[in-house]
Amino acid sequence: MIQIKDLHKSYKMGKNSLHVLKGINFNVEEGELVAIMGSSGSGKSTLLNILGMLDSSDTGEYILDNVPIKNLNETKAARYRNKFLGFVFQSFNLINYKSAAENVALPLYYQKVPRKERQEKALKYLEQVGLKEWASHLPSELSGGQKQRVAIARALAAEPKVLLADEPTGALDSKTSYEVMDLIQKINDQGNTILIVTHEPDIADMCKRIVHLKDGVIIEDKKIEQVRAEQYV
Amino acid sequence: MFDLERWQEIFDTIRKNKLRTFLTGLSVASGIFILVILLGFGQGMQNGIAKEFEQDAATSVWVWPGVTTKEYKGMNPGRRIQLRNENYDFAAVLLADKIEHKSPRLFVRNSFVNYGKESLAYNVQGVSAQFQFIENEFMSQGRFLNQQDVDLKSKVAIISNKIKREVFKDIESPIGEILDISGISFKIVGVYGDIGGEREEDRIYIPISTAQQVFNGADYINNLAYTLPPAKDFETAVVQSIQFKNAIKSYLQQAHTVAPDDTSAIQVYNPMEEAKRFYSLMGGIKFFFWFVGVCTIIAGIVGVSNIMLIVVKERTREIGIRKALGAKPWSIVGMILHEAIFITAIAGFSGLILSMGLLELVGPHIEVDYILNPSVDFNVALTTVIVLVVAGAIAGFFPAWRAARIHVIEALRDE
């Protein structure tokens, strides 16, 4: 699903250049649930941004679902993002004046899905995350866990190839975190490919594979026995 | 444009920021308001000036003598010039091909007009048949003077609608009634009206020949009046009228031995030339009005632009989210532009409707010289609408451009 070869990325900070990714190689197969771990400054967010086409690499190859991702202009990047990727953010990033259902329907709007179908799909995915009865509520009326579940529903609504989650539990207490992870695991069980950036070991343990980043290189990449979040809920 | 979702979003943001949107709209609305009022008054002035010139036929030329101010060929200054029939007749022959209508005029001074026992205070003027067309009189009843009246020195009089109303209100028709002018009976044969309105209806017309014979015996004429044949356009008419003015002036100056540069001995007034001056002045004033109006609108646009920049700043995070979800740059541009155009259009239309309403309501009641019925026509309204939409687009463009260039990662980091 994802193939990355020798990915480099550096940022210019005035006269100095900060080399953040120093040659990343890794592949993700369809249906995997990968945790990308690392302390802050390890380059994990940069990697996720490049995977999410929010940022471009300096050198290296990135192939997503057999499509080489390079030389993207903004419009093309937007189209690929819409088609291939679903995002889940630490701070949820819901649009605060739109109801839960409208938020979930938003990526479909950019796919030019007709209005009625959008609403149906939005409800379907809200049901999947267990928030159907909250469809007409504004984000401010939802708890943190609920917000993140709406965000997950939104990411799913576009039916992406890969779900990218940047610290999805970072703003949640541990009980809610497990609920969210439980949801993510169930979505993964349905065959969705998911990448999670986290620095919490217990969250990483709930994935099927852990990629450890340190100072811009992968220092460890291992498959693990998944801990089901269900038991903590 | 007909995207329901986008409309919904615009209403959502407007609802969230009522005061801000209102204030922005106000600046645009007042801009349009001022522009339309200014243009309305520009039109009013034009109407007013046109009205001033409407009293007489547009191509008319009026000649009257004065007192010489310059010594010339042994003649002292201070000599009063008196026009005579021969001047009129000679000019008529000399300039025959340039004249459409012509008439001499004699003011009958110190005349007493009586109708029955009633003493009236109207001017009596001796004119010829064609004077009707020079002065722009229309006949309400009966006829105007004709050539026969002049030839036969008939004792007939033409009165105006005003006189009819004021004096003959009790009888059905003044035609055939007898007016006593300084002891001589004149039969009323016609009632005229003047396009210039009541103040031009204080005259009683009698044949020039009768006036000369009955009231001062000589062949005196007070002034000459002409109209020139219609020209194919305004410019030609002006040129034609200036040529005629110079021709008749130089003839009369020669005939009365007046220095060619003596401006007060022979005076010629041609509304055409005046009109040209007024119209070019009008052009200047109109341009100035547009200029001021457009400047006001620009101030409004800058206001909208500023507000939209703030909107973009405030919505940075939201725009970032949208982009992350796959919004293309153009869809972001469209969203911001749409809102800007919507605000300017709604505000502008309110300004337009308000100002047009005001003009419609107050306009007809304005009674000032040179301002008549200030109003805006459909074309001006249409132009303003186009100005509005363009203004909205300009106001929205720069903020929209900035919004489209928002970097997703930075936007999402923005708290």
List pLDDT tens digits, range B87-110. 999 988 888 888 999 999 999 888
Calculate mean pLDDT across residues B192-214.
88
Taking CA–CA distances from B405, the nearest residue in chain A reads: A74
Q: How many CA atoms lie within 13 A of B379 on its CB side?
A: 1
Q: What is the pLDDT of residue B55?
A: 63
Which residues of chain A make contact with B409, given a CB cutoff of 8 A?
A: 49, 54-55
For chain A, which domains are there? 2-232 (3.40.50.300)
pLDDT at A32: 92
Judging contacts by C-beta atoms under 8 Å, the chain B residues touching residue A74 are: 328-329, 404
pLDDT band at residue A104 under the 50/70/90 scheme: very high
Q: pLDDT class for B414, splitting at 50, 70, 90?
A: low
Write out pLDDT tens, residues A57-99. Answer: 888 899 988 888 888 888 888 888 888 999 998 888 998 888 8
Please indicate if any CB of chain A lies within 8 Å of the CB of B7. no
A1 with A163: CB under 8 angstroms?
A: no
Would you place residue B112 in the very low, low, confident or very high pLDDT band (cuts 50, 70, 90)?
A: confident
Task: Note whether B95 and B108 are within 8 A (CB).
Answer: no
Q: Is residue B412 less than 8 Å (CB to CB) from chain A?
A: yes
For residue B325, count CB atoms less than 10 angstroms from its CB and return exposed for 0-12, middle for 13-18, buried for 19 or more. Answer: buried
Q: Mean pLDDT over all residues of chain A?
A: 89
Set of chain A residues whose Cβ sits within 8 Å of the Cβ of B327? 78, 110
Per-residue pLDDT at B378: 74
Asked if residue B246 has pLDDT above 80, the reply is yes
Quick check: A81 and B325 CB within 8 A? yes
Query: Could you read off the pLDDT of A179-190 as tens digits, one per residue?
Result: 889 999 999 998
Contact B324 A83 (CB under 8 A): no
What is the phi-psi region of residue A215: left when phi exceeds 0, alpha when psi lies from -120 to 50, beta otherwise? left
What's the mean pLDDT in B162-166? 89
Residue of A nearest to B317 (CA): A93
Encoded tokens for A145: 């866990």
Give Cβ neighbours of residue B359 (< 8 Å, ≥ 6 apart).
B36, B37, B40, B374, B375, B376
Q: What is the mean pLDDT of chain B?
A: 85
Backbone phi and psi for residue B344, each to the nearest 5 degrees, phi listed first: -65, -40
B321 inside 8 A of chain A by CB: yes
Half-sphere exposure at residue A141, Cβ-oriented, CA atoms within 13 angstroms: 11
Residues in chain A with CB shorter than 8 Å from the CB of B13 are 97
- Confirm if B222 and B83 have CB atoms less than 8 A apart: yes
Q: Is the dihedral of CA B358, B359, B365, B369 positive or negative?
A: positive
**Among chain A residues, CA nearest to B415:** A91
Contact A231, A55 (CB under 8 A): no
Element (H, E) at A79: helix A74-84
Q: Determine the Cα–Cα distance for residues B183 and B251; give it in Å rounded to an integer.
A: 38
Per-residue pLDDT reduced to its tens digit, B126-139: 999 999 988 888 99
Q: CA–CA separation, B307 vs B300, rounded Å?
A: 11
Alpha carbons B342 and B348: distance in angstroms, whole number? 10
CA dist., res. B173 & res. B175, Å (int): 5
Contacts of B3 (CB under 8 A, 6+ apart): none
Q: Which residues, 6+ apart, have CB-to-CB distance to B375 below 8 Å?
A: B40, B43, B44, B359, B360, B363
Is the CB of residue A89 less than 8 Å away from at least one CB of chain B? yes
For residue B289, CA distances in Å to B45, B203, B280, B283, B296 come to 12, 40, 14, 10, 11
pLDDT at B359: 83
**Alpha helix ranges (H) inside B84-211:** 85-94, 131-134, 147-152, 161-167, 208-211
- Vertex B40: Cα angle to B34 and B58 (nearest 5): 150
Q: Identify which of A55, A87, A97 has the shortest CB distance to residue B12.
A: A97
Confidence of residue B1 (pLDDT cuts 50, 70, 90): very low
Span B43-58, pLDDT tens digits = 888 777 777 766 666 7
Q: Which residues pair with A220 in a beta bridge?
A: A212
Residue ranges of alpha helices (H) inside B315-328 are: 316-324
Inspect the interface and report whether the beta carbons of B328 and A109 lie closer than 8 Å: no
3-state secondary structure of B226: strand
Beta strands in chain A (DSSP E): 2-13, 16-28, 33-37, 59-64, 67-68, 85-88, 162-166, 193-198, 209-214, 217-223
pLDDT at B127: 93
Q: At what angle do helices B316-324 and B329-362 cross, to 10 degrees?
A: 130
Q: How far apart are CA A222 and CA A208, in angstroms?
A: 9
